[in-house]
Chains A and B, each alone.
Chain A
Amino acid sequence: MQGTIVENLSGRKLSVLVALLLLAQVACFLIGGLIAPTPSSAYNVLGTNCVDTGNNTPRWFYTRGHGACRNLELSDYKDQDSKLEMANKVVFVFQIPVPRENVVLDYSRWQQNLIGVLQFDVAYHAENEMDSRTIITIDAKLGYRNKGDPDDAWKPYASALEERSLDCVIDNRKTDYYYNCSIVPLFELGSLHHDFYLLNIRLPVDHFKHMNEKLGQLENMWLITINQNGGFTKVWVSLKTVFFPFIVGIMIWFWKRVHQLARPPALLEYMLIFLGGALTLLNAPLEYLTLYFDMPFMLLLGDIKQGIFYSALLSFWLVFAGEHMMVQEDNRHNHLRVYWKHLSAVGVGCLSLFIFDMCERGIQLRNPFYSIWVTDIGTNLALTFIILAGISAGVYFLFLSYMIWKVFQNISAKRSVLPGMSSVRRLHYEGVIYRFKFLMLATLLCAAMTVVGFILGQVAEGRWKWDESLEIEYTSAFFTGVYGMWNIYIFALLCLYAPSHKKWPVESESHSNSVSEEIEFSRLPTEPSEISSLASFARKAALD
C-alpha cells in the first residue's frame, strides 16, 4: 500500500466529503450571520466635570451612587479672572457602564475586553487658536468596583501620566464651532473581570513644564468604550468547543495511520501534524477560564496563537509546494533544512510582528494606558517591525509563487510524457494531477474568499439587509465563516493527506471505481516512497 487518501478515494466519496464540508462551511457562516450579534459594540460616555476641592487628592470621584460628585459647567468659569488653579482641580469622571432602562448595568465577563478612546470637543475661539498638533498630558486613574461593594469602595486598577498628541482641524472658523479632533486611544484592558469601572482624568496645567498650555477651550470630553459583545463571545467559544475535539480527533487518527506504516513519518506529515497542532492551540477554548480567573494577557495570547497558526499555515504551503517540486537529489530524507531560506521569510515576519506585539500589548499588561505609538522612537520602532514583517511577507509570496509556478511547469512537462505510458498508469497520474490541482484550487479559493470577504466587509459598513425580517450580521458572519473555513480546510487536509491503508480492496468501491484498485496494484512495487504518489511519480520521471 502507498499514497495518500486523496489519490485513492473514489470520486463519489470525495464529492460526498466535499459536500459535507461545504455544508459545514455554510452552517458556520449562517451561525455568525443569524445568531451572533456584531463582534463588538461602542458606547459614547460623556465625562462629568467634578471639582477636586483639595489639591490632587487620591480620592475617587464618581457620578452615581452615594457620595457622588456634582457636575460643573466649565463655561461658567470661562470669563472669570485668573482661574488657573481651576484647571488642576477639574476631574473628568467616567463611570462605566452607564445605566439603561432604569437598570444599573454591569460588565459581564463574557464581554472579554475593553478599549477606551478619548474624544475632545474643543470649541473655536479667535483668541485661542489651537495648533494642528498639540501634545496633551493626561493624568488618568482607572478604578474598579464589584457588585455588592459599597458605592465608594473603588479600588485602583491602574494609573498613569501619559502624553498623547491631539490633531485638530477646523474648516469653519466660527466661535463655538468644534474643532475636528482626532481620537485619542487611551487604554486597552485584556480582561473585563470586574463589574464596574471608573475613570478619573485630569489635564494638569504646569507652566514650568509647559504642560497642557496649548490646549484650547475644551468643552466636553467623551470616552468611547469598546467591548466585545457577550453574544459574540458565546457563539465564538461554542464554535471553538465544537471544532476542538474534531481537530484533535482527526490528528490522532492521522498520526495513528502514519505510525502504522513501516517507514518513519515524512516531512509533509510532520508539517501537517504541526499545522493541526497550531490549529488546536487556536481552537482551545481558553475563554472559559476568563469567566473564573482574571487573565489580562488574553489579548496577547490571542495574537500569539493566531501568529503561530499563520506561520504554520504559511510554512505548510511552502513545504507542500516544495515536496511536489521534485528537484532534490536526496528525495527520501527531506528535511526542513532544505527550506531554511524560504522559512526564514516566515520566521522573520512572524518574529518581528511578535516583537511589535510584545512592545505594545506586552507592556500594556503592566500599564494599560501605554501605547508604543505616542513617542517618536516608539513609532519608528513599531514601523520598523511592521515594515520588516511586510517585506518578509512580500519575499514569502515571491518564493511561494515561484515554487507553485515550478510545480505547474513540472506537471505540464510530465504531462507531455503521459501519452507514452500505459493507459492505466496514465489515467492514474492524470487523476493525481487533477486532485493536486483541485487542492491548490481549494487553497486559492479559501484565501481569495477570506480576502474578498474582508474587503466586502470594509466597503459595505453596517448591516446587510436582504429582507425586512432577515437580517444578516455580516461582520460576525465573516469572522465565523472564515474561522470555520480554515478549520474545515485543515480538517480536509489531515483527512485527505493521511496515508492510505488500501491493503485490501473495498467491496463497495469495486463496481464504481474498479480502475482505482487496479492502479494500486499496478504501482511499481520497487518505489519505496510513500509521501505522495505525485512526488514519487515526478521523481521517477526525473530519474528516467
Chain B
Amino acid sequence: MTSAAVTHAVARACSEGSIESCTCDYRAAPGRGVRDWEWGGCSDNIGYGFRFSREFVDAGERGRSLREKMNLHNNEAGRAHVASEMRQECKCHGMSGSCTVRTCWMRLPSLRVVSDNLKDRFDGASRAGGGGGGPRRNRYNFKLKPHEPEHKPPGPKDLVYLETSPDFCNRHPRLGIQGTHGRQCNDTSIGVDGCDLMCCGRGYRTQELHVVERCACTFHWCCEVKCKLCKVKKTVHTCL
C-alpha cells in the first residue's frame, strides 16, 4: 500500500507541477533530457512515480534474505496495481477535427480503487516459501516460490506473506494489538466485520440506542451539504 500510495502521490504531484524534478519519458531515448521537450515531448508522470517509489520505499530492502524479497515483491505488486488501473483516453484532432490525428494519454486512477484492489489481494494472499535467485544486476528480477509446492507461484500483482498473522483477538500491547473487546460488529455479515469472526467466539452484547443523525442530505458543489437531523433507533452489537 505504501508503495502504491507513493507512486500515486508522486505521479499526481508531477502533474500538478509541485515537484519540479519529474523526468521525461526515458524509454524513448535515454539521456536526452529536457531538450526532448521541444523535440518530442516530455511527459512521464507515472513512470517517475514508479521509479521514485522504488528508490524511496524500497530503500530499506537491501539485503538478500527472504523477508526483503517478500517486501520487494509486495511493493512491486502495489505499484503494479496503480499501473493496471490507469485508463487510456484519446482525443481526435485531425483535419476539421477528424480522427486522422489522435493523441492518447493515461488517466490516473482513484487511490480508493487501488486500495480496494489491494485489500482483495490481501485477503487472498499466499504464503511464500522461498525465493528463486535472479541475476544480480536487477534486484527486481526474482521469482518467489509458494509455500505449498503444488500451489501456483504468486503473480506480479499478488501479495505474499512469510508468517501467519498473530492472533488479533486478544490484547497484546507488545505487538501493538488492541484486541477486539468492545468493538462494534455486524451480526449479519459473514466477513471479518461479522460478529462471529470479530468477537472470536466470545459472543456479543446487543443494545438499542436512539441516536440523532444527519439524514436526507443534499449536496452542492463545492462544499455545501444541507442535511436534516433525524432521530433513529439503532441496534448496536458490541463484542464482549
Query: How many whole Å from B206's CB to the nearest CB in chain A?
Result: 26
Cα distance, A81 to B217, chains bound together (Å): 12
In the complex, residue of chain A having the shortest beta-carbon distance to the beta carbon of B106: A44
In the assembled complex, which residues on chain A have CB atoms less than 8 Å from the CB atom of B42?
41, 100, 105
Contact assessment for B220 and A213 in the assembled complex, using a CB-CB cutoff below 8 Å: yes
Complex partner residue of A127 from B45, B105, B217, CB under 8 angstroms: B217
* Tally of chain A residues near chain B (CB < 8 A): 83
Contact assessment for B41 and A38 in the assembled complex, using a CB-CB cutoff below 8 Å: yes
**Does B223 sit within 8 A of A, measured CB to CB?**
yes
In the assembled complex, which residues on chain A have CB atoms less than 8 Å from the CB atom of B101?
39-40
In the assembled complex, which residues on chain A have CB atoms less than 8 Å from the CB atom of B38?
108, 110-111, 230-231
Complex partner residue of B220 from A41, A84, A117, CB under 8 angstroms: A84
Query: At the interface, is chain B mostly helix, strand, loop or mixed?
Result: mixed
Complex partner residue of B43 from A41, A117, A205, A458, CB under 8 angstroms: A41
Contact assessment for A95 and B103 in the assembled complex, using a CB-CB cutoff below 8 Å: no
In the assembled complex, which residues on chain B have CB atoms less than 8 Å from the CB atom of A438?
none
Contact A46/B12 with A80-B223, A177-B112 known, Cβ cut-off 8 Å? yes
**Does A24 sit within 8 A of B, measured CB to CB?**
no
**Does A521 sit within 8 A of B, measured CB to CB?**
no
In the complex, residue of chain B having the shortest beta-carbon distance to the beta carbon of A461: B104
Contact assessment for A229 and B222 in the assembled complex, using a CB-CB cutoff below 8 Å: no
Contact A226/B222 with A101-B23, A176-B110 known, Cβ cut-off 8 Å? no
In the assembled complex, which residues on chain B have CB atoms less than 8 Å from the CB atom of A127?
217-219, 225
Complex partner residue of A226 from B12, B28, B91, B112, CB under 8 angstroms: B91
Contact assessment for A356 and B39 in the assembled complex, using a CB-CB cutoff below 8 Å: no
Interface string of A98-123 (1 = CB under 8 A from B): 11111101001011000101010101
Cα distance, A505 to B45, chains bound together (Å): 69
In the assembled complex, which residues on chain A have CB atoms less than 8 Å from the CB atom of B220?
84, 87, 205, 213, 215
Complex partner residue of A231 from B17, B23, B39, CB under 8 angstroms: B39
**Does B235 sit within 8 A of A, measured CB to CB?**
no
In the assembled complex, which residues on chain B have CB atoms less than 8 Å from the CB atom of A110?
38
Contact assessment for B39 and A230 in the assembled complex, using a CB-CB cutoff below 8 Å: yes
Contact A83/B223 with A100-B42, A115-B93, A177-B113 known, Cβ cut-off 8 Å? yes
In the assembled complex, which residues on chain A have CB atoms less than 8 Å from the CB atom of B22?
98-101
**Does B96 sit within 8 A of A, measured CB to CB?**
yes
Contact assessment for A77 and B222 in the assembled complex, using a CB-CB cutoff below 8 Å: yes
**Does A42 sit within 8 A of B, measured CB to CB?**
yes
**Does A404 sit within 8 A of B, measured CB to CB?**
no
Interface residues of B in 110-137 (CB under 8 A from A): 110, 112-113, 116
In the assembled complex, which residues on chain A have CB atoms less than 8 Å from the CB atom of B37?
97, 100, 105, 108
The chain B residues found within 8 Å of chain A, CB to CB, are 12, 14-18, 20-24, 28, 33-34, 37-43, 45, 89, 91, 93, 95-97, 99-110, 112-113, 116, 217-226
17 contacts between A and B (CB under 8 A): A43-B41, A64-B17, A83-B222, A87-B221, A100-B37, A100-B42, A101-B33, A103-B34, A105-B42, A115-B93, A119-B107, A203-B221, A217-B219, A224-B91, A229-B41, A454-B100, A458-B102
Extra contacts, 12 of them, besides A37-B39, A100-B23, A213-B220 (Cβ < 8 A), are A40-B103, A41-B43, A43-B43, A46-B15, A47-B16, A48-B16, A99-B22, A188-B93, A226-B91, A229-B39, A229-B40, A356-B96
